[in-house]
Amino acid sequence: MKSLRISVLIQAVGKEIWEICQEIEGIDGIKNVKVVIGTFDVIAYAELNTANDLRPFLDRIHRIKGITRTETCIAI
């Protein structure tokens, strides 16, 4: 069972939103990706094994072309 549940709020370049979602869906730990309207463009929901997995996971997201900003929320 995964012990760390997170939501990553993502701002991205508009014309690349769907491509960004497809790339995020391929990352280990991702459970769901949604395009949203508001301050952020995409919300990615993930489950990770430990807090030690968080930095490599976020580094992977930040390498995706078109992502301009993220905010991570950890469920408690």
Q: Quickly tell me which residue has 């979602």 as its tokens.
A: 21
The pLDDT, as a whole number, for residue 3 is 87
Mean pLDDT of 54-66: 96
At residue 38, does pLDDT exceed 70?
Answer: yes
Mean pLDDT of 30-56: 96
Mean pLDDT of 65-69: 94
Domain that holds residue 45: 4-74
H helix or E strand, kind and range, residue 72? strand 67-74
Distance CA 68, CA 51 (A): 24
Distance CA 3, CA 40 (A): 26
Distance CA 74, CA 5 (A): 6
Number of domains in the chain: 1
Beta strands 4-12; 42-48: pairing state: antiparallel
CATH number at residue 31: 3.30.70.920
H helix or E strand, kind and range, residue 33? strand 30-35
